[in-house]
A and B are shown apart, each in its own frame.
Chain A
Amino acid sequence: MLKILKYSFFDLVRSRWSYVYLLFYLALGFTLLFLNNDLSKAVITLMNIIIVLVPLIGTIFGVMYYYNSREFTELLIAQPIKRSSIFLGQYLGVAGSLALSLILGLGIPFIFYGLFKSAAIWDFVLLLYTGAFLTFIFTALSLNIAIYNENRIKGFGYAILMWLFFAVLYDGIFLLSLIIFEDYPLDTFSLTATLLNPIDLSRTLILLKLDISALLGYTGAVFKSFFGTLLGFGISIMMLVVWTLIPVFTYLRKARKKDF
């Protein structure tokens, strides 16, 4: 598995798109720091970008990688290698190289700025942590879509819809249901709904860490009392892990049963 990981990782790291992605984050990091001059404000702006962009890039790279390497995957399957090693290795290679671009691209400007001397270091670490998780989650989700759809156009379409759902539609439905059912107690509902969308979950985690939950109004207080505690924080982190493991598991299960 490690060898497959190594090759897909280097295959991607050498591709033009990885550089573009890395350069984008470098540019973003430097610009934000020099325009803002305030680390925690920069973290918030970054959060808003990361929370939408990282899932999108993970989704697109995942589908693209799967379809582009299909024939090569067939060649690998005929070799004396376990199937799950091939697919897990490729997944970790794709998601790993994207996560690395993110961490390096944002990390370097922040280190230059003097991150280690700053109090915002933990906010920043949490930002990268959720960013990395979102990469792994959305790459795995999009690989699932790709492996279930032979037709590339359909696969791409579904993948983009999936991203759109989590990044935009989910919040819309969430808000609508809050308005419709405003006469009822919605604490548990909104907490659960937040846990069930990795993007919302990441956003909430960061906002609470930044201690600006007052912005969220009453729900903010409810959230604060849940996520603010060590237990709530632990559960949220665990949820991100679960959100990664489930799609990886279904992907590998499908890969074991698929004809090539």
Chain B
Amino acid sequence: MITVNGLHKKFGKNSVLKGIDLKIERPGIYAILGPNGSGKTTVIKSILGMVLPSGGQIEVFGQNISKRWKYRRELNYLPQIANFPGNLKVAELLNMIKDLRRMPSEEEHLIELFGLQPFLKSKLANLSGGTKQKVNIVITLMFDGQLLILDEPTTGLDPAALIVLKRIIKDEKAKGKVILITTHIMEFVEEMADEIVYLLEGKIYFQGTIKELTKRTNQSDFQHAIAEISTSQHA
């Protein structure tokens, strides 16, 4: 579904991605991990067409994405920082995104799950960080795209909302979708991810299941395995 070949990206002189090769063929939850500045968000944004590669190709659903935009109909993206026009109300924002995408949407269910009804008439500028993130999640998940890209979806969520989010992600996976998630919360990865893509200094250091990772690093559990890769590299 997603094929990335030799993806390079430079920002000025700073080389962020140095040849990423990534193949995602089966549905499931893929966790993109790596230390800060390893290029997780850049990879995601390249797939979305927000960042334009300095070299390499990206195919989504068998189509080269360069200079195209229609493939994004099947993409639902949750950005890391949610900032909306402050003088819009939540309901207005939802309607606007629906109007722009012109696709069937199921927001009522999500609004109920996250308990957002009391906020529908509030202006976005007056919402707390967590509530904004919930609105952000509703906007992302209300459409039925085949590919979900979630950049730090857990930011600012309270435990109850986190449980809701996990349930939704599992439901989406059951529908046979591909879900890419970046996060720094390892419990979340351990519980949710089918496969891990570990980025280090602009390259893919490891791609495989959690079991494979623990085996390869000779560690008893996942968290130690992750710690092991990040330290062994610098040794």
Contacts and interface: CB of A to CB of B under 8 A. Distances in A.
B49 to A, nearest CB: 8
Nearest to B52: A259
A254 interface: no
B63 interface: no
A71 B51 CA distance: 14
B69 A78 contact: no
Contact of B87 (A14, A77, A78): A14
Nearest to B81: A71
B81 A259 contact: no
Nearest to B71: A80
A69 interface: yes
Contacts, number: 59
A208 B14 CA distance: 55
Interface string B84-102: 1101100000001101110
A253 interface: no
Contacts of B84: 71-72, 75
A184 interface: no
Contacts of A69: 85
A11 interface: yes
Interface in A73-88: 74-83
Contacts of A79: 72, 97, 100-101
Nearest to B70: A80
Contact of A260 (B50, B87, B97, B101): B50
B198 interface: no
A257 interface: yes
Nearest to A84: B69
Contacts of A14: 87
B50 A78 contact: yes
Contacts of B50: 74, 77-78, 259-260
Contact of A259 (B45, B72, B139): B45
Residue of B71, B82, B88, B100 with most chain A CB atoms under a 10 A cut-off? B100
Residue of B69, B72, B139 with most chain A CB atoms under a 10 A cut-off? B69
Interface residues of B, number: 28
A257 B88 contact: no
A122 interface: no
Interface in A1-18: 3-4, 7, 11, 14-15
Contacts of B139: 75
Nearest to B145: A80
A71 B83 contact: yes
Interface in B68-83: 69-73, 75, 77, 79, 81-83
B51 to A, nearest CB: 4
B86 to A, nearest CB: 9
A69 B100 CA distance: 17
Contacts of A71: 79, 81-84
A39 to B, nearest CB: 38
A3 B81 CA distance: 24
A79 B45 CA distance: 12
Contacts of A72: 83-85
B92 to A, nearest CB: 10
B48 interface: yes
B7 to A, nearest CB: 13
B57 to A, nearest CB: 17
A78 B75 contact: yes
A79 B69 CA distance: 8
Given A257-B52, A260-B51, A80 B69 contact: yes
Contact of A3 (B70, B79, B87, B100): B100
Residue of A14, A71, A79 with most chain B CB atoms under a 10 A cut-off? A79
A78 B99 contact: no
Contact of A78 (B11, B48, B70, B88): B48
Interface of A: 3-4, 7, 11, 14-15, 69, 71-72, 74-83, 257-260
13 contacts: A3-B100, A11-B87, A11-B88, A71-B79, A71-B81, A74-B79, A75-B79, A75-B84, A77-B50, A79-B100, A80-B70, A81-B69, A81-B100
